[in-house]
C-alpha cells in the first residue's frame, strides 16, 4: 500500500513587498538582491495569522483531492513561527476547519519541517491508527507547512532581510492500494556546533534567576549555510535514491527547499543535473521555510508539467542543522 499526495494547496498573504521596498529599509537594490538570491519579491502577512494561511492552503488541498473533512485522520503542521505556543497551530486548524476525526499536532524542523512532517505522516499512516472504538487506520492526512518569518526577520540586516517571506502550503496524503506515491524518505541531523543558523526565544523574566538576554531574530552565517545546503542536498538525495533503487537519471523533477537561487544552481551543478529539471519558485515568494517545499510542489503541479508516473525528488535542509529527501512517484 502506497502513500500518495492526492491534493495540494497554497496561500500567500495579500501584501507584496518588492526589492525596491526592501531598499527603502537597508542599503541594497533590486539588482543586488536578484544576483545573490534570485528573489524579486516576497509576501508579508499583515492582517493574516499563520492559522489563516494554513487553513486557506488546507481548504484548497482538500478540494484538489476531492476529500471530505470527516475523512482526515491526521493534521500535521510544520512551523517555526506558530501564532501561539498553546493552542498549537494544528489544533487551531483542526478546530476552525471542523476536522472532527483528526489527531493534530505541530512539528518544528525549521526549513526542513515539511519534509520531517511528510516522513512522520507517512510512518503513522503505514503503521499507526487514529483513536476510536475500532482503531481505524489513518486513510487520509493533511500535512501543512506555514510560516510568518517576517515576525522573526531582522529588517535592519541587509544580508538576511532580503531572503524571507510568509505563506503556507498543504498536501493531502492518502493510503492507496497500489504501489504509487512516496517511494522512499530519508532524514538526517547534523550538529550545528558553530551556530550557523539560529533564532533565540524571548521569555519574560522570572523571580528565581536572571537569564541571559536573547533576541528573537533569525541570524545566519551565509557562506556556511550555503556550503551546508549544497552538500546536504547532494547527500540526502543520494541516500534516498539508494533506498528507492533509483539513480539521478530516473528523476523527472527536483523540488528543493527554496532558500536561495544560487544554492539550487550550485546543487544542480554538483549533481550534474540540468537546472531546467529544478522547480524554481523563490523569485515570487522568497524563502518561506517550512512552507517553501509544498508551495513549490504546488507551483510545479499547477503548471501542468508533471505527468502521471513522473518521479520527483523533494529535498529540504535547514536549521538544526537538518536535511531530508523523498522520492515521489506521481
The CATH number given to whatever domain includes residue 45 is 3.40.47.10
Interval 208-260: pLDDT, tens: 777 666 668 888 887 889 899 999 999 999 999 999 999 999 999 999 999 99
Interval 37-52: pLDDT, tens: 999 999 999 999 999 9
Q: What is the pTM of this model?
A: 0.94
Query: Are both 171 and 193 inside the same structural domain?
Result: no
Query: Are both 258 and 168 inside the same structural domain?
Result: no
User: What residues are annotated to the active site?
Assistant: 111, 257, 287
Residue 14: give the domain boundaries: 2-179
Query: Are both 121 and 261 inside the same structural domain?
Result: no
Query: Are both 59 and 165 inside the same structural domain?
Result: yes
Structural domain total, the chain:
2
Within 10 A of 136 (CB to CB), how many other CB atoms are there?
A: 12
Q: Which of 163, 179, 195 is the last residue of a domain?
A: 179
Provide the CA 147 distance to its chain's centre, in angstroms. Answer: 9
C-beta of residue 121 within 8 angstroms of C-beta of residue 76: yes
Decide if pLDDT at 133 tops 50. Answer: no
Q: Which of 59, 54, 53 is nearest to 15 (CA)?
A: 53
At 19, list the grid cell.
526589492
Q: Tell me how far apart the alpha carbons of residues 303 and 280 are, in angstroms, rounded to a whole number.
A: 12
pLDDT confidence of 207, banded at 50, 70, 90?
A: confident
Query: Are both 103 and 193 inside the same structural domain?
Result: no
Helices (H), 66-184: 89-97, 113-127, 158-161
Q: What is the pLDDT of residue 196?
A: 83
Amino acid at each position: 500500500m502506497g502513500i500518495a499526495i492526492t491534493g495540494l494547496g497554497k496561500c500567500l498573504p495579500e501584501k507584496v513587498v518588492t526589492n525596491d521596498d526592501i531598499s527603502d529599509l537597508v542599503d541594497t537594490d533590486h539588482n543586488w538582491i536578484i544576483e545573490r538570491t534570485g528573489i524579486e519579491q516576497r509576501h508579508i502577512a499583515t492582517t493574516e495569522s499563520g492559522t489563516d494561511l494554513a487553513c486557506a492552503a488546507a481548504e484548497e488541498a482538500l478540494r484538489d483531492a476531492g476529500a471530505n473533512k470527516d475523512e482526515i485522520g491526521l493534521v500535521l503542521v510544520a512551523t517555526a513561527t506558530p501564532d501561539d505556543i498553546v493552542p498549537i497551530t494544528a489544533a487551531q486548524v483542526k478546530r476552525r476547519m471542523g476536522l472532527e476525526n483528526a489527531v493534530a499536532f505541530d512539528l518544528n524542523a525549521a526549513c526542513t519541517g515539511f519534509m520531517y512532517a511528510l516522513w512522520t505522516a507517512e510512518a503513522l499512516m503505514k503503521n499507526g491508527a487514529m483513536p476510536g472504538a475500532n482503531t481505524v487506520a489513518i486513510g487520509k492526512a493533511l500535512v501543512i507547512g506555514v510560516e510568518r518569518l517576517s515576525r522573526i526577520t531582522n529588517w535592519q540586516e541587509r544580508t538576511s532581510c532580503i531572503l524571507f517571506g510568509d505563506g503556507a502550503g498543504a498536501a493531502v496524503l492518502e493510503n492507496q492500494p497500489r504501489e504509487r506515491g512516496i517511494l522512499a524518505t530519508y532524514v538526517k541531523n547534523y550538529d550545528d556546533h558553530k551556530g550557523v543558523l539560529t533564532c533565540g526565544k524571548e521569555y519574560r523574566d522570572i523571580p528565581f534567576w536572571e537569564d541571559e538576554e536573547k533576541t528573537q531574530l533569525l541570524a545566519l552565517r551565509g557562506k556556511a549555510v550555503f556550503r551546508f545546503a549544497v552538500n546536504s542536498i547532494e547527500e540526502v538525495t543520494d541516500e534516498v535514491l539508494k533506498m528507492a533503487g533509483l539513480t539521478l537519471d530516473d528523476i523527472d523533477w527536483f523540488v528543493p527547499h527554496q532558500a536561495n537561487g544560487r544554492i539550487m544552481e550550485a546543487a544542480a551543478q554538483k549533481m550534474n543535473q540540468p537546472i531546467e529539471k529544478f522547480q524554481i519558485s523563490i523569485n515570487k515568494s522568497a524563502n518561506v521555510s517550512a512552507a517553501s517545499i509544498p508551495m513549490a510542489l504546488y507551483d510545479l503541479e499547477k503548471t501542468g508539467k508533471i505527468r502521471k508516473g513522473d518521479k520527483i525528488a523533494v529535498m529540504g535542509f535547514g536549521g538544526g542543522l537538518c536535511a531530508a529527501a523523498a522520492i515521489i512517484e506521481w
